[in-house]
Amino acid sequence: MQSTASSSSSGGSRVTRVTATSTPLPILPTSLVGSYAQPDWLIDRAKLAGRFPPRVRARELWRVQPEYLAQAQDDATLLAIRAREAAGLDILTDGEMRRESYSNHFATALEGIDLDNPGTALDRSGHPNPVPRIAGPIVRSHPVGVRDVEFLKANTDHLVKMTVPGPFTMSQQAQNDHYPDLASAALAYAAAVNAEIKDLHAAGADLVQIDEPYMQARPEAAREYGLTALNAALDGVTGTTAVHICFGYAAIIHERPEGYSFLPELAGCPADQISIETAQSGLDLGVLTDLSEKTVILGVIDLSDHEVESAELVADRVRRAFAYTSPDRITIATDCGMKYLPRASAEGKMRAMAGAASILRAEL
């Protein structure tokens, strides 16, 4: 592939701009769900692992002084990009290097949130957690992740994916002191997510993924109003989209059910792809028959164990899906929460995933 490159400075960090078109995807492409292991010099990983994912800002997690933090996050993003390219992954995220958690980066950037006086809500384990307090109308006054996708797009010729927290999940991770009910709050979040998705696509994202883990955790409310909010978040979106639904971070939520409490309901949503976890749970993949019209982002890397799986074991986990959907409808991925792994383990697991893809492509 022919390409040219130029260099510029962005936020104090050097940016290499790749001007080639994105590399075409092979069958059974590989990707992370979202996060990658943040370096120890960037974030206090012991503090990160010793608490539930922050819903409000958690600046105490960063090891770098505020005036140098943006530059350090850019440098960490470049390292994450190169590590995944070297491992052989096909679709890249930015590794969420700039985020304290998958949701608070976006949720705390919205107007209508009282950041100085947070509220309290129960997390999916039933523990009270500080959360954003909705004190007024939720408004997205500016793009949150556009600069991040531009940085990612400028530094790789791979297809790129960006993630944004879902409206239902954010409504569950907030104290609502403004709207008449959480359904109304979820719709307000949906409008913010909708605008963000459209801007991320316009900035060059090839795929935008909405993270909705609380649909699994709170299926009754998800059926009542969560799906309506998700559909509103996707209204009028023309770029490729995915919805991620999971059992919670393996580093924190250790027990896994063998089936999803909310999954077939997503078959009719406008998203093109559905991201699920199967490795740690040993999920019964018969559920894939309900998603026959969707591309499935299939989590086949167990993040509850730092030991690196063999490529053949990962390939076996993917083969289980072939009885229920065709290989051209599968993206091979990790379970979610790679940010909690040691970097050496994360790198090895990515190589195993890429190796599994090579084995399976040779068989097809």
Residues 121-144 pLDDT 10s = 988 777 889 999 999 999 999 999
In a domain, residue 10? The reply is: no
In a domain, residue 308? The reply is: yes
How many domains does the chain contain in total?
1
Q: Say what the pLDDT of residue 12 is.
A: 42
DSSP 160-223: EEEEEE-HHHHHHTSEESSSSSHHHHHHHHHHHHHHHHHHHHHTT-SEEEEE-THHHH-HHHII
Query: Which element (helix H / strand E) includes 45?
Result: helix 45-49
Q: Say what the pLDDT of residue 256 is.
A: 56
> For 161, phi and psi rounded to 5 degrees?
-125, 140
* Residue numbers of the domain that contains 346: 30-363
How many Å apart are CA 169 and CA 185, to the nearest integer?
11
Q: Say what the pLDDT of residue 22 is.
A: 62
How many Å apart are CA 217 and CA 291, to the nearest integer?
20
DSSP for residue 309: P
Proportion of the chain above pLDDT 90, given as a percent = 81
The model's confidence at residue 10, banded by pLDDT at 50, 70 and 90, is: very low
Give the residue-averaged pLDDT of 149-153. Answer: 98
Q: Say what the pLDDT of residue 7 is.
A: 39
Domain of 149: which CATH number? Answer: 3.20.20.210
Rounded to the nearest integer, the mean pLDDT of the chain is 91
Task: Evaluate whether 298 touches 278 at the Cβ level (below 8 Å).
Answer: yes
How many Å apart are CA 255 and CA 353, to the nearest integer?
24
The model's confidence at residue 14, banded by pLDDT at 50, 70 and 90, is: very low
In a domain, residue 178? The reply is: yes
In a domain, residue 337? The reply is: yes
pLDDT higher than 60, residue 227: yes
Q: Say what the pLDDT of residue 16 is.
A: 38
> For 60, phi and psi rounded to 5 degrees?
-70, -10
Asked which of 7-11, 26-30, 291-295 is least confident by mean pLDDT, the reply is: 7-11
DSSP for residue 52: P
How many C-beta atoms lie closer than 10 Å to residue 131's C-beta?
Answer: 25
pLDDT in tens, 182-199: 999 999 999 999 999 999
Asked which of 11-20, 26-35, 245-254, 280-289 is least confident by mean pLDDT, the reply is: 11-20
In a domain, residue 2? The reply is: no
Does the pTM surpass 0.85? The reply is yes
Residue 36's nearest CA partner among 204, 128, 152 is 152
pLDDT higher than 60, residue 6: no
In a domain, residue 24? The reply is: no
